[in-house]
Amino acid sequence: MGKGIDWFDAYVGLGIANRPPARFSATAAELLDELGFCGVSEALVYHVAAIEEAAQSGNNLVAGAVREHPQLHPLWAVLPPQTGEMGTVHDLFGAMRDNGVRALVAYPESHRYLLDSLTMGSLFEQMIPRRIPLIVPLLADSLWATLAAVMRDFADLTVIVVEHGGWGDDRFFRPFLERYPRLYVDTSRYHQDMGITDIVREYGAGRLLYASGYPTTQMGAALLAVAHAEISEADKALIAGGNLRRILSEVEL
């Protein structure tokens, strides 16, 4: 699928969940096998322990697991700066630099905090000039309102929305694409008929990122949707990995 395209998965989970799906990767080696089977060159990887146990545990586990595998890029979960659990904001950036981390992910519901300017503003203000992307999984429709408030306050924040629903979520995310040029949407659950084609026509291929959401969803499904979308090969290449590589190359730590 997507012959000749260099795929870079923007959101992949590593580790054994408390209730693991039918297919998962417990180790980096297993994840690399899965990526290779699907023809994916690279992946941005979080550890499931960052959601189910503690952000710090998951962050440490994923950093150690991928250290010897340059195809795998660690994705760290972030917590409110006020608690000091991750040190100061500058401590966090230093640790990211030392561990090759160029993106953060927020799980406000799992970690019990508000994703807003009051709680996260001091961090977001420092992320913006450094172009550090924030990945926001949107499994619940109510989180769109949370994201709207964040973007009103931090319009220049680089945000990647992942795991949004496929049926009708255009009505949620098209206004974001229209107003906020540094907000991107993934393809992991986007199963709308001709949806990718229409988004590319309306907003350009630069606003979509290939992400599988593995292991919650199967790695090849989102890949297949991009590979067979009625768009140019150049646009497919951007969605498949070009956009994410550009976003990560802009990060300054």
pLDDT of 1: 52
Domain extent listing, the chain? 7-249
pLDDT of 147: 96
Q: How far is CA 54 from CA 20, 58, 133, 228, in A?
A: 17, 6, 21, 39
Q: How confident is the model over 140-156, as a mean pLDDT?
A: 93
Q: Please check whether residue 164 is in contact with residue 185, taking contact to mean a CB–CB distance below 8 angstroms.
A: yes
Domain spanning 7-249: CATH 3.20.20.140: yes
In what side-by-side order are the strands of the sheet with 104-105? 76-77, 104-105, 134-137, 159-162, 183-186, 208-209
pLDDT of 22: 63
User: Residues 230-241: pLDDT tens digits?
Assistant: 999 999 999 999
pLDDT of 188: 87
User: Residues 49-80: pLDDT tens digits?
Assistant: 999 999 999 999 999 999 999 999 999 999 99
Torsion of CA 203, 156, 134, 246, to 10 degrees: 60
